[in-house]
A and B are shown apart, each in its own frame.
Chain A
Amino acid sequence: MTLIAPLATAPIPAEDDRASPYVDLSPAMTPVQALAESNRCLFCYDAPCIKACPTGIDIPAFIRSIATGNLKGAATTILSENIMGGTCGRVCPTETLCEQSCVRNRAEDRPVAIGRLQRHATDRLIDGEPAHPFPRAAATGKRVAVVGAGPAGLSCAHRLATLGHEVTVFEAKAKSGGLNEYGLAPYKMADDFAQREVAFILGVGGISVEHGRKLGADLSLDSLRADFDAVFLGVGLGSNNRLGIPGEERAGVEDATAFIERVRQAPPGQPPAVGRSVVVIGGGNTAIDAAIQAKRLGAEDVTLVYRRGRAQMGATAWEQELAQTEGVVIKTFAAPSVIGETDITFERTRLTDGKLSGTGETFTLQADMVLKAVGQKLSADALDGLQITGGKIAIDEAYRTTLSKVWAGGDCVATGEDLTVQSVQDGKLAALAIHSHLTA
């Protein structure tokens, strides 16, 4: 087991401090803000924002419903395409999706705040409506197994349930939600939103979740295929890439995903300790989330180091700026070469014709804590019989794997970017494919 305690720990800020990682980064809109912002939407024809949304939400329609005071209708429009519209309104990189294509950018350089409006609408329904908005079709008598209660699995399960099937979800962890619960920064998912959303989704009925059930442990693909009419795999990416450099086993060196999970699962008022000097390695949103959390938990110096340039980072420009606003220093074109007892050494790099190489020049940063965010990969154990291509489960255009009766979606397949919204879309489309198969 990795020693996760940092070498030196920083004082922890109070729970209700604005700087706490548990405080909402972008608070819910007030009704007045939503009124003003919804009226900025032009109700475009065949709107570019719809095409930019991986789940194809009819964005102008839901925003118009907000403007006319039909908040329930707005939420239903969103959730009918994306049952995790509440999470996506909070965590989607809207600046590279719907809001990037908003036509308001062209003349005004300021898009309609689609993400925040989506949260405004869905919050009202998730928190305020006693009845689930989507009824279930007549029972089909078919049973489907879903492996993984993350965005892809729950999206798939919900859609199958509405179509009249009985669904059993098998989840290894103690809570449902997947990365929504364990992998997203708490300031994006404040007030236990992941669990509230799960409760809402399960409110449709017909879905049972069995926790502590893991493929390869007490579950096998063969038995699921034998016991159910169809199987959906939404297992995500289970393992982290390693740096492969000396010192990686040192105390205070940890995977960023594990750190985020510890921050998310910490009991109220008892957040984990962080180092005074923290170095985060990586350029994706996980690296940004980990760096900001470390800063908000009291680290004096947080440096995010990426081996390529700002333009090549997986994190959007908005995320990068957010980190800098929070006090994170971003260094680029440097790759870690060795982790010392209290520090970490990097070699500067250069990009020549798309090829990255070391320059021989090095620098060293103090590092009580090193957080590794250099990508995740599929845990291929227990996926016997499935074809794996490019590190992902191979599927056809209907989400069908190479094994009969088995479909897959989410981060464990290669349909798009590894985003919550893409996983929700995968789960939805796979459910429709499974439904076609079961009712053919």
Chain B
Amino acid sequence: MADLSSTIAGIRSPNPFWLASAPPTDKAYNVVRAFKAGWGGVVWKTLGEDPPVVNVSSRYGAHLDTDRRMIGFNNIELISDRPLAVNLQEIIEVKRDFPDRAMVVSLMARIEEEAWAGLARRIAETGAADGLELNLGCPHGMCERGMGSAIGQVPEMVEQVTRWVKNAVNLPVIVKLTPNITNILWSAEAAKRGGADAVSLINTVNSIVAVDLDAMAPTPVVDGKGSHGGYCGPAVKPIALNMVAEIARNPDTHGLPVSGIGGITTWRDAAEFLALGATNVQVCTAAMTYGFKIVEDMIGGLSNWMDEKGYRTLDELSGRAVRNVVNWNDLNMNFSTKAVIDPALCIDCGRCHIVCEDTSHQAIRIDAGEGRRVFTVVNEECVGCNLCSHVCPVPDCITMVPEQTDLPYVTWPNDARNPMRVPEAAE
């Protein structure tokens, strides 16, 4: 059976599934329930200097599919609204009762050294924290006070804050990055320069998640008004995967441990983050959608899949897909794949045909069959775009089959069809 024990920046946990800094990790009651359910670690909800912040009523908005499945979620909640001493005491008690779990504490402060260093020392003095996570990403509320993403969006500030905290305490420091930037590498590199032991990403995406068409206000609606908030959940996973991969394949940040965050809902999502270089993952929305029990299948599913694939440890898996993440210009222009429709599995919905016909390459033909339609790919027109296979409701009914060609691997810079191609020097 695969060994799921995980170590990131020297912080150990029995499995790679942590709860991210968020409402589920706001107090001992929740965290104890999470640890009893099997979560490997938590990042305690962000602590700030006293007096604690005050939150508004009505805090979450949702982006739902027509069947009410959660596509995305956003919030306008601030950091912990409980006194610092109360949080610290609870952190001590929970860590005492669950010594094998990772207890990382998130913190946020004004852009002043003493504010960050003082807060970090208070946390370190508990002796209960396995590490710190710097919240440099909250895109709502706190940024209006010069904190959160107001710091995370300026690489120089990221570096500075990281250095202040590293100098103040002797604990592993994870810098949580905001996706609300132009280039994630600028802030990742800054964190590394500042001495970060790891980065975690992504924090929430700035968003208006929905508009209440009766109130004519963004949701969540606070007395007739709404504000932009932090977007998370399954919809942000692709954004997060790209940013994790960018850091993993960038020479300047390669090797910097990454804690992957962003819409992780299943073990498969987690495996994808790990494959792109994450060392562990953090989860919030899935727990807020289903409760803590979902970690059971995350652990079981990842373990079973690793056994099936022969991965014995997370280290063997982590980063396995990174070398296959390349720039477009490094793709093989001679590769060709064609859709193949299995008539035995086809249920005659016609979706492949109509999307190809209306929006793509008119490459799926309809013939009359016996009491049903027969859909066939016109190979000459099919460009291998995958659209039909994505919209098909039946798994494996439409597969993409690479064509056997004897053509060499040729990238666009070297492709004869490229008008900008630099001709190879004549012999």
Contacts and interface: CB of A to CB of B under 8 A. Distances in A.
Contact of A67 (B66, B348, B349, B394): B66
Interface stretch (B227-235, B287-295, B331-339, B350-358): B350-358
Nearest to A36: B67
Nearest to B67: A39
A36 B354 CA distance: 25
A104 B67 CA distance: 17
A78 to B, nearest CB: 19
B417 interface: no
Contacts of B348: 44, 48, 103, 106
A43 B66 contact: no
Contact of B67 (A43, A46, A48, A67): A67
Interface string A101-134: 0011011000000000000000000000000000
Contacts of B347: 103-104, 106-107
Interface string B319-354: 000000000000000000000000001111111011
Interface in B138-197: none
Interface in B57-79: 65-68
Among the interface residues A35, A36, A38, A106, which one has the most CB atoms of the partner chain B within 10 A?
A106
Interface in A13-52: 35-36, 38-39, 42-48
Nearest to A39: B67
Contact of A45 (B346, B353, B372, B393): B353
A414 to B, nearest CB: 24
B66 A44 contact: no
A364 interface: no
Contact of B393 (A35, A38, A42, A46): A42
Interface size range on A against B: 10 to 19
Contacts of B65: 39
A159 to B, nearest CB: 30
Contacts of B68: 35
Interface in B367-394: 372, 393-394
Contacts of A46: 350, 354
B349 A42 contact: yes
A38 B67 CA distance: 8
Nearest to B352: A45
A2 interface: no
Interface in A254-284: none
Nearest to A64: B66
A42 B397 CA distance: 15
A68 interface: yes
Nearest to B355: A45
A368 to B, nearest CB: 46
Contacts of A38: 66
B351 A45 contact: yes
B67 A44 contact: no
Contacts, number: 40
A58 to B, nearest CB: 14
Contact of B66 (A42, A68, A103, A107): A68
A222 B243 CA distance: 83
A424 B221 CA distance: 48
Interface in B221-277: none
A339 to B, nearest CB: 44
A104 B351 CA distance: 13
Contact of A35 (B67, B345, B354, B372): B67
A63 B68 CA distance: 16
Contact of B350 (A36, A45, A68, A104): A45
A47 to B, nearest CB: 7
Interface string B196-232: 0000000000000000000000000000000000000
B349 A44 contact: yes
A103 B68 CA distance: 23
A42 B372 CA distance: 16
A107 B347 CA distance: 7
Nearest to A66: B66
Given A35-B67, A36-B67, A43 B394 contact: no
Nearest to B393: A42
B394 A107 contact: yes
Contacts of B350: 44-47
A46 B373 CA distance: 10
B354 A45 contact: yes
A216 B10 CA distance: 99
B66 A45 contact: no
Contacts of A35: 66-68
A68 B65 CA distance: 9
Nearest to A47: B350
Nearest to A48: B348
B66 A48 contact: no
A97 to B, nearest CB: 15
A36 B67 CA distance: 6
Nearest to B372: A48
B20 to A, nearest CB: 30
A36 B345 CA distance: 24
Contacts of A39: 65-67
Among the interface residues B347, B353, B354, which one has the most CB atoms of the partner chain A within 10 A?
B347
Contacts of A44: 348-351
B351 A42 contact: yes
Contacts of B394: 107
22 contacts: A35-B68, A36-B67, A38-B66, A39-B65, A39-B66, A42-B349, A42-B351, A43-B351, A44-B348, A44-B350, A45-B349, A45-B353, A46-B354, A47-B349, A47-B350, A48-B348, A67-B66, A67-B67, A68-B66, A103-B347, A103-B348, A106-B346
Interface of B: 65-68, 345-351, 353-354, 372, 393-394
Interface of A: 35-36, 38-39, 42-48, 67-68, 103-104, 106-107
What 5 A-B pairs are tightest by C-beta distance, nearest first? Answer: A45-B350, A45-B354, A39-B67, A106-B347, A67-B66
Given A39-B67, A44-B350, A45-B350, 6 more contacts: A36-B67, A45-B354, A67-B67, A103-B347, A106-B348, A107-B347
